[in-house]
């Protein structure tokens, strides 16, 4: 299990992530609201503006201040490390 830093010392298991998307659209805002009402929202922004939303396979929604491109870089690093073949 690889953990990815999503800011402020918060870590997410990379193998549990389904999607990382922008929080700007109305459907995503509704999904965030639903997760908050159902106790499935994890706010890792530390009071800053939400720049990306992470969806997990356990239906949890994680808010982070990392921009999408930075989040993508961090998740790619862990996935490329998994694909390394040692001979």
Q: In this structure, is residue 22 part of a structural domain? A: yes
- Sheet holding 52-56: strands in order across? 17-21, 52-56, 61-64, 41-43
pLDDT tens per residue across all 87 residues of the chain: 889 999 999 999 999 999 999 999 999 999 999 999 999 999 999 999 999 999 999 999 999 999 999 998 988 887 666 554 444
Domain that holds residue 38: 3-82
Q: Report yes or no on 87 lying in a domain.
A: no
Which helix H or strand E contains 42, and what residues bound it? strand 41-43
Domain tally, the chain: 1
């Amino acid at each position: 299990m690889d953990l990815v830093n999503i800011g402020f010392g918060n870590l997410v298991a990379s193998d549990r992530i389904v999607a990382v998307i922008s929080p700007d659209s109305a459907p995503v805002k509704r999904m965030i609201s639903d997760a908050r009402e159902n106790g499935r929202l994890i706010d890792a922004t530390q009071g800053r503006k939400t720049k990306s939303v992470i969806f997990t396979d356990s239906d949890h929604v994680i808010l982070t201040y990392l921009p999408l491109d930075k989040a993508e870089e961090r998740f790619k690093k862990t996935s490329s490390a998994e694909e390394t073949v040692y001979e």
